[in-house]
Homo-oligomer: A and B are copies of this chain.
Amino acid sequence: METTKNNDLKNNGLNNDLNNDLLGVCYYPEHWSVEKWLADVKIMKDLGLEWVRIGEFAWSRLERKRNDFNIKWLREILDLFHEKNMKVIFGTPTATPPKWLIDQHPDILSVDQWGQVRQFGSRRHYCFSSLRYREEVKRLLSFLLKEIGSHPAIKMWQTDNEYGCHDTTLSYSSDAKKGFRKWLKEKYREIHRLNEAWGNVFWSMEYHDFDEIELPNLTVTEANPAHQLDFQRFSSDQVISFNKIQVDLIREHQSEAKITHNFMGFSFDFNHFKICKDLSLASWDSYPLGYLQNFVEDAKHKKKYLRKGEPDFQAFYHDLYRNLNGDFAIMEHQPGAVNWAKYNLSPTGKTLRLWVWEALAHGASFVNFFRFRQVPFGQEQMHEGLLFSNNEPNKSYHVVQEVAAEIKKVNLAKREHLAEVGIVFDYESHWIWKIQPQGENLNYFDLLFSWYQALRKKGINVDFIHPDFSNYRDHKLLIVSGLTRIDPRGLEVLNELACPVIIGPRTGNKTENFQIPPNLLLEELQSLLGIRIQGVETLPPEEEVSILREENAAFTRWREFIKVSEPETPNVPEASAVKISLKTFDDYPAFVEKGRFGYLAGIPNAALLEKILLKYLEKSNLTPLPLPDGVRLVKDKERSYFTNYGNKTQNLRHLLGSAKILLGSEEVSESEITIVETI
C-alpha cells in the first residue's frame, strides 16, 4: 500500500515534526570559484535551507575527457555541506553528456520526428534508446558511486534531470528503431498477432517480419494509431529502463538509498506511475508564473493571475505527484522571474511564501528553490536566484527568510493529506487522446483539470487514482473521466467499491490495442452502466449541445449518442434501474444513472459540471464550502490552510468558525495564507 511506504519514508527522515528540513536549494559549485563556497554554504544554512541539490549538469567537470576524472572538487563541496550538517541530493549528470563523448559516439544523439539529428549545444541531446549511451552512463555512475557514493552528506539521489523536457521522450533514431522492433517482438512474439492487434489489413499495412516495422513518423498521412500508441509506450518504457539502470546501480551500492527524479508540470509523454515503482519518492519542478504564461489560454484568466500563477495548477501537480507513490517533494521552485516563459514576470509581493505553503499543505516533504544564485552566463542567465550574481539578496531571499522562520513556529506534525474525492489519471489515456483527438480542441488534461478545479473551488481535497485503481482507499466520490482505456483491474474495483462514481465521457471506448470495443464501449462498462454508445461527435468552439430544461448547461467539444440498453423504470429507485436524468436538446440521454454510477455523455461546460458535481457531492455526503473568489483551501488531518490568490482581502470568519488560528488571521489578504486547526 502506497501510504505505508509514505509513512516509512517520513520516518526515515524525509519529513519530520521539527520542521527543520522543509526547505532547500539548488546549487552549482562548478559555476563559482572555490573561494565562494564556504560563504555560500553559510548563507544557505543561516537562511534555514537544509537540503541542497548539486551535480546534475557537471559531467564536463567530473570527467574532463574519457577517464580523466576530477572528483576532488566534488568531495570538497560535499565535505563543506557535511560540516554544516546539510543534506545533499546528488543529481546524476546524465542530462548533459559532454562534447568529447558525443564526438566519439555521435550515435548517442537523438533524432526528432522530422528525421533531424538533435545536435550538441544545449542539453538533453541523448537518445534514451542508445545502448552506447547506457554503457557510458553506467561507466560514469559506477565511478561516481565508488568515489562519493558513501559520502555521508549525500542523503538522496536524483536521476538525470527533467526527463522528457524539450520534447525528448520520443526519439526517431536508428537505435530507437532497433529497440522498438525488439520491444514489439517481445510483446507480440509473432508478427500476425501484431498485424491483428494493429489492424494492419487496413490500408495494406501488414508486415511479415518485425524487422519490416518503421517508426511512425514521416508518413504521408497519420500513421496507424495502434502503431503510434505502441511507439509511445515503447518510448515511455525506454525512459523507465534508462532510469532503472541508474536506480539499480545506486541501490547496488547502497540498498537503502533514497532516489527520486524531478518531474515537470505538463509533462505526459512517459508513464510517471510506472517509473515511480523504481523510485523512493517523486519530486517535481514548480514554476507557477512560467506555467501560467505557457499553458493558460483564457486571456482574462491569465491577466488576473499574472504574478501569482494559476491558483490550481500547482495544487494539481502536488496532488498528482503525491499520489505517484505516496510522497513527493519540490525539487526546483521558481524564486522570481524566470527566462523561459513567453513573458517573464516577477511574483507579486510575498507570493513565493504562498507557493511554499501551498506545497507544504499538500504534503511536500521539502521545497528546494531553484537556484541559490543567478548565474551571469549561459542560457538561463536571466533566470533569477535567491541571490543576484554579485551576491546581493534578491527579493526572494527575504521572502525565504520569512517563511523559513515562520515554518518553525507552526506545528506541522502529521501532514497526512485528507482527500475526499478521487480522480483517476492515466498516461495512456492522454496518449490516446493526443494520437486521435477527433477534434482540434480536445485535450485529456483540460477535462481532468476542469473537474479538479471545480472541486478545489469548493474546498474539496483530491487524490489522483492510478489507472488500476490500486491507490483507491476510502474516497467518498470517484471521478472517472476520459479514461479511454480502462484497466481490467480498474473495472473490478469499480464493481466492488461502494462510493458514488461519475463516469464518462470517453471512458472505456478503446481496447488495449487502440481498437473500438463493440458499441464503442467496453462490455463490462455497458452492463455496469446500462448504456450503449452509438456514435460520437466533436464540436467546434462556436457550438455547444444544450441540455434540456437546464439553463446554460451544455456539452462542449465532445458528445456521445447513447441509449439505455435496459428498460428504463422511472420512479422505481432500485439499484439496477437505469434512469435518464438529463437529456440533450435533441432528445438523447445526457446523464444516465444506475445505482451508484452516473454516466455523462459529453464534456460538460462549467454550468453542467457544477450541476452534476453538486448532486454527487450531496450523494457522497460531502459539503462544498463557499470559498471567496481567489481563495483555496487544503486540509490535512490536523490543519486547514486557506490561501488567497485573489487581488482582494477576504474575510474567512464564516468558514473558520471557532477553529484555532495557527498562522495568519481571519482576514486573508492578497497572496497571504491563514492556517487553522482542521475545520
Contacts and interface: CB of A to CB of B under 8 A. Distances in A.
A389 interface: yes
Interface stretch (A6-14, A341-349, A611-619, A669-677): A341-349
B518 A346 contact: no
Q: Which of A199, A389, A441, A535 has the most CB of B within 10 A?
A: A535
A220 B114 contact: no
A464 to B, nearest CB: 28
A458 interface: no
Interface stretch (A264-272, A277-285, A369-377, A492-500): A369-377
A203 B166 CA distance: 14
> Which of A120, A519, A543 has the most B CB atoms < 10 Å from its CB?
A120
Contacts of A243: none
Contact of A116 (B59, B115, B124, B538): B115
Interface stretch (A92-100, A356-364, A410-418, A469-477): A92-100
A343 B558 CA distance: 9
A621 interface: no
A119 interface: yes
Interface string A116-147: 11111111110000000000000000000000
Nearest to A306: B543
Interface stretch (A323-331, A380-388, A625-633): A380-388
Given A515-B376, A538-B345, A543-B306, A201 B121 contact: no
Given A342-B540, A535-B337, A543-B303, A121 B214 contact: yes
Most chain B beta-carbon contacts within 10 A, residue among A60, A207, A223, A336: A60
Given A199-B378, A220-B124, A212 B339 contact: no
A415 to B, nearest CB: 33
Given A199-B376, A199-B377, A439-B343, A534 B394 contact: yes
Interface in A264-313: 293, 299, 302-303, 306
A205 B537 contact: no
A516 B376 contact: yes
A146 B544 CA distance: 55
A543 B300 CA distance: 11
Contacts of A217: 119
Nearest to A517: B376
Contacts of A342: 439-440, 540
A527 to B, nearest CB: 15
A203 to B, nearest CB: 5
Contacts of A436: 339, 381-382
Given A204-B57, A204-B61, A381-B225, A214 B343 contact: no
A389 B220 CA distance: 26
A220 B118 contact: yes
Interface residues of A, number: 110
B223 A339 contact: no
A342 to B, nearest CB: 5
Interface in A162-194: 165-166, 168
A390 interface: yes
Contacts of A538: 337, 343-345
A379 B303 contact: no
Contacts of A86: none
Contact of A542 (B212, B299, B537): B299
Interface centre among A219, A439, A519 (most CB of B within 10 A): A219
A358 to B, nearest CB: 22
Given A224-B378, A337-B536, A379-B221, A519 B121 contact: no
A35 interface: no
21 contacts: A59-B204, A99-B212, A120-B205, A120-B214, A121-B216, A121-B219, A121-B220, A122-B205, A199-B381, A223-B379, A225-B379, A303-B542, A339-B436, A342-B439, A343-B540, A344-B537, A346-B537, A376-B518, A381-B516, A382-B438, A390-B519
Given A124-B220, A225-B381, 4 more contacts: A99-B208, A336-B535, A345-B537, A377-B516
Interface of A: 30-31, 57-61, 64-65, 93, 96-100, 103, 110, 114-125, 165-166, 168, 198-208, 212, 214, 216-227, 293, 299, 302-303, 306, 336-337, 339, 342-346, 374-382, 384, 388-390, 392, 394-395, 436, 438-441, 513-520, 532, 534-540, 542-543, 561
